[in-house]
A = this chain, B = another copy of it.
Amino acid sequence: MALRIAVLTIGDELLNGEMADTNTAAIAASLGAHGYALRESLTVGDVEGDIIEALQETARKRDVIIATGGLGPTADDLTARAAARAFGRRLALNEEALSGIRRYFRERGRQMHPRNEKQALLPQRALILPNPVGTAPGFLLHHDGREIFFLPGVPEEMIAMLEGSVLPHLRQRDGETFPMQQRVFKIFGIAEPQVEETMQRVALPEGVETAFGVEYPMVHLKLRAAGEDAEGLLDGAEIGVRKALGDSLVAIGEETLAGNVARMMTAAGKTLALAESCTGGLIAKLLTDIPGASTFLDRSAVTYANRAKQDWLGVGERILEEEGAVSDACALAMARGARRAARTDLALAVTGIAGPAGGTAQKPVGTVYIALVAGDEEKVERYRFGGSRDRIRLLTAVTAMDWLRRYLGERISPG
């Protein structure tokens, strides 16, 4: 019989409209990827009686509870106290938790506030779950054959501890189940209905299920399989998916487009310079999110002002005056100038109108030029992107990175 797992999220901000609860969906997704489904989830505010009641009632019905939030140092963080009362324990200073909090501050050369000691006041017989990212320790209580995990509400800390502590624990408890395996295919340049239509023509092995979703501006295709041979089934399915999606498949699994571009640039031993106008540094930011980007990325000129385009990229005054800063001639001159200045193998340039102001009849908001120079090749193209300033900037950056991926031309290897 499947483990009955419940999630309990705690915090007034989740109930008064101030903040959406993203932890439940993140936990559901992480557990789902390992073959577990939640049986229920609930949310209560920073009200001690409500937390106690929720813990007791849920523990009565479920095998495992994953509770998040309310472990911080301030007065409205009530989870540890409520947990102690719910399961009839005393609240005591936990030395292991305290030394963990002290270590966190010491390693960062910061002074620990006495108030942070409160975070080590935990129910007796709590097992400490290390927090690799922040100060709040998590803990695990055993009660009547139930396991109740308490994690901080900060998403980054919560997910690190879910994957570092909770999942290994569940796998151990659950013995030799074969969790559902999932493989995500990230697709750029075709819309969701077309992806779905394409997939209807692909014969997948028996036992492989498909699901679709949008992570703007990518479409995600998810294949799932269970059982001992799940990986084998997904490997078989992947052959058909790659063939059907071809060049629109930009990343698989944990891979990202930026990560793949970085990997391909490094493998090819090529260097890159960027010249960014409307993206304002976003392309450089996305590529330098990847550790080791300095291996291939030489520089980016974020040239908002025309003078900057002239100084650093040598864009001619004639181009700026006659064609304008948003033109194919300017994009190409920016890319050429960046390559000349940086002496790199490749240079990529973007210029456009992200809005909301600045559009004209000839060049409405969303007009973007992308240029790539590499070896003897030069390419420049005009796009018309829709949506908000944020979406236009993101779509420009992703399209530009996708040009690099296609230029480098390598097929993506499984994640």
Evaluate contact between B39 and A42: CB separation under 8 angstroms.
no
Task: Name the B residues within 8 Å of A19 (CB-CB).
Answer: 25, 213
Given that A72-B192, A212-B74 are contacting pairs, would A388 and B133 also be in contact in the complex, using a CB cutoff of 8 Å?
A: yes
Task: Mark interface residues in A104-121 (1 if CB within 8 Å of B CB, else 0).
Answer: 000111100101100000
Q: Which residues of B contact A283 (CB under 8 A)?
A: 281
A116 to B53, CA, bound (A): 40
Q: How far does the alpha carbon of A398 sit from the alpha carbon of B21 in the complex, in Å?
A: 25
Residues on B with C-beta less than 8 A from A307 are 298, 342-343
Q: Does A75 contact B (CB under 8 A)?
A: yes
Residues of chain B with a CB closer than 8 A to A76's CB: 211-212
Nearest neighbor of A194 in chain B, beta-carbon distance? B113
Q: Which residue of B lies closest to A155 (CB)?
A: B216
Give complex CA distance A338, B288 in Å: 21
CB contact between A16 and one of B18, B40, B180, B305 (< 8 Å): that residue: B180
Judging by beta carbons under 8 Å apart, are A50 and B40 in contact?
yes
Say if the beta carbon of A387 comes within 8 Å of chain B: yes
With A38-B45, A281-B285, A312-B341 already in contact, 16 other A-B pairs whose C-beta atoms are closer than 8 Å:
A13-B222, A15-B41, A16-B28, A17-B31, A19-B213, A40-B44, A40-B50, A115-B197, A280-B281, A281-B281, A281-B282, A282-B288, A285-B285, A289-B390, A293-B304, A299-B304
A1-54 contacts to B (CB < 8 Å): 12-22, 24-25, 28-33, 37-46, 50, 53-54
In the docked arrangement, what's the CA distance between A22 and B288, Å?
27
Q: Which residues of B contact A115 (CB under 8 A)?
A: 193, 196-197
Identify A311's interface contact among B16, B109, B341, CB under 8 A.
Answer: B341
User: Roughly how many angstroms separate A152 CA and B193 CA in the complex, as a whole number?
Assistant: 16
Find out whether the CB atom of B386 lies under 8 angstroms from the CB atom of A107.
yes
Nearest CB of B to A333, in Å = 16
Docked-complex contact B45 and A42, CB < 8 angstroms: no
Which residues of B have CB within 8 Å of A165?
none
Complex Cα distance, B213 from A75, in Å, reads: 11
Query: Which one of B16, B41, B301, B357 lies within 8 Å of A301 (CB-CB)?
Result: B301
Q: A312-B301, A341-B312 are in contact. Are A154 and B17 (CB under 8 A)?
A: no
Judged by a CB distance under 8 angstroms, whether A156 is at the interface is yes
Map CB proximity to B onto A52-81 as digits: 1 under 8 Å, 0 otherwise.
Answer: 011001000100000000001111100000
Chain B residues with CB under 8 Å of A113's CB are: 191, 193-194, 197
Residue of B nearest to A76 (CB): B211
For the complex, what is the distance from the CA of A212 to the CA of B21, rounded to whole Å?
16
Which of the residues B192, B291, B312 comes within 8 Å of A312, measured between beta carbons? B312
Docked pose: A386 CA to B305 CA in angstroms? 35
Q: Are A342 and B308 in contact (CB under 8 A)?
A: yes
Q: Which residue of B lies closest to A274 (CB)?
A: B302
Contacts of A356 in B (CB 8 A): 291
Residue contact A17 to B33, C-beta cutoff 8 Å: yes
Task: Identify which of A18, A214, A387 gathers the most chain B CB atoms within 10 Å of its CB.
Answer: A18
Residues B303 and A299 in contact, CB atoms below 8 Å apart: yes
Are A302 and B281 in contact (CB-based, < 8 A)?
Answer: yes
Q: Provide 12 A-B residue pairs closer than 8 Å at the C-beta atoms, listed in order of the A residue.
A: A20-B24, A40-B45, A40-B50, A72-B192, A73-B196, A113-B191, A113-B194, A274-B302, A292-B357, A299-B301, A299-B302, A299-B312
Residues of B within 8 A of A270 (CB): none
- The answer to whether A39 touches B32, judged by C-beta atoms less than 8 angstroms apart, is no
A351 at the interface (CB under 8 A from B): no
A305, B312: Cβ atoms closer than 8 Å: no
CB of B387 within 8 A of CB of A133, answer yes
4 A-B pairs closest in CB distance: A17-B32, A280-B288, A281-B281, A281-B284
- Judge if A89 is at the interface, Cβ distance under 8 Å: no
A94: interface (CB < 8 Å): no
Query: Is A300 part of the binding interface, using a Cβ–Cβ cutoff of 8 Å?
Result: yes
